Amino acid sequence: MRILLVEDSRDLSTWLAKVLRNDGYAVDLAYDGEEADDLLQLAAYDLVILDLALPRLDGLDVLRRLRARGGTVPVILLTANASLNGRVRGLDEGADDYLVKPFEVAELEARIRAQLRRADGRPTPLQSCGDLILETSSRTFTLAGLPLALTPREHAVLAALMRRPGRTQSKTVLAEAVFGFDDNADPSAIEIYVHRLRKKLDGSTVTIATLRGVGYLLRDDAS
């Protein structure tokens, strides 16, 4: 899943991006409103974390432009303004949630998971394909009841496939969910992670099938 983090404090951006990448998200960074507006027109994101106090174009203007273009991506606002009017204004402009600075990163992670579940139309924190289960609250996989050890990139690929089990996803689509702009990764790198995941799923009924020239799909062969 791909997140756009818009925050002009480079120290805070770097720290949050590291945390989120360790959680298995692909993260792009923007440090001002104009840059954020450009990226939102260039790439598809699963979620946006948007600071309100930005140079060149403030966060509310970025949000207004996004919604005016018909963009429906979930947006979590970061604000130093704890007033009721400030929060209501952001929500009225189309934000889905807000978090007042300073905040605990665990709360931000929980709010991200909640917004992603809502956007996916999944009211519960569990996603499953056969005996493979993703607990979205902890972002952990289990296979036949046992924890499945994955690297952050392996996790990102499997989570992307898990969102649409039984449906084919191209290498390009998977790469967009796994890599940010700064990663400069070739979509063919997805083949490496799929190969590793197949080894870890070996012995279960869950497989990653290849449709040549089309992409990959996650399926339960027992069903």
- Spans of all domains in the chain: 2-120, 126-220
- Mean pLDDT estimate for the chain: 87
pLDDT at 136: 75
Between these two residues, 119 and 210, which has the higher pLDDT value? 210
Nearest to residue 79, comparing CAs of 95, 57, 65? 95
pLDDT at 124: 60
Q: Is the pLDDT of residue 187 over 80?
A: no
List, for residues 85-141, the tens digit of each pLDDT value: 666 777 788 889 988 888 899 999 999 988 888 877 665 667 889 899 988 777 789
pLDDT at 219: 92
Q: Is the pLDDT of residue 32 over 80?
A: yes
Confidence grade of residue 181 (pLDDT, cut at 50, 70, 90): confident
List, for residues 146-175, the tens digit of each pLDDT value: 999 998 889 889 988 988 888 898 888 888
The mean pLDDT of 62-78, rounded to a whole number, is 92
> CA distances (Å), 43 to each of 3, 48, 98, 172, 222, in order?
10, 12, 23, 12, 37
CATH number of 2-120: 3.40.50.2300
Reported pTM: 0.70
CA distance linking residue 144 with residue 167, whole number of Å:
22
pLDDT at 33: 95
Q: How much of the chain, in percent, has pLDDT values that exceed 70?
A: 92
Place of tokens 């979930």: 74
Q: How much of the chain, in percent, has pLDDT values that exceed 90?
A: 43
Between these two residues, 142 and 187, which has the higher pLDDT value? 142
Q: Is the pLDDT of residue 208 over 90?
A: yes
Q: Tell me the CATH architecture of domain 126-220.
A: Orthogonal Bundle (1.10)
pLDDT at 125: 66
pLDDT at 5: 97
The mean pLDDT of 19-35, rounded to a whole number, is 91
Confidence grade of residue 24 (pLDDT, cut at 50, 70, 90): confident
> Checking DSSP bridges between strand 75-79 and strand 126-129, what pairing results, if any?
unpaired
List, for residues 84-100, the tens digit of each pLDDT value: 666 677 778 888 998 88
CA distance linking residue 152 with residue 102, whole number of Å:
27
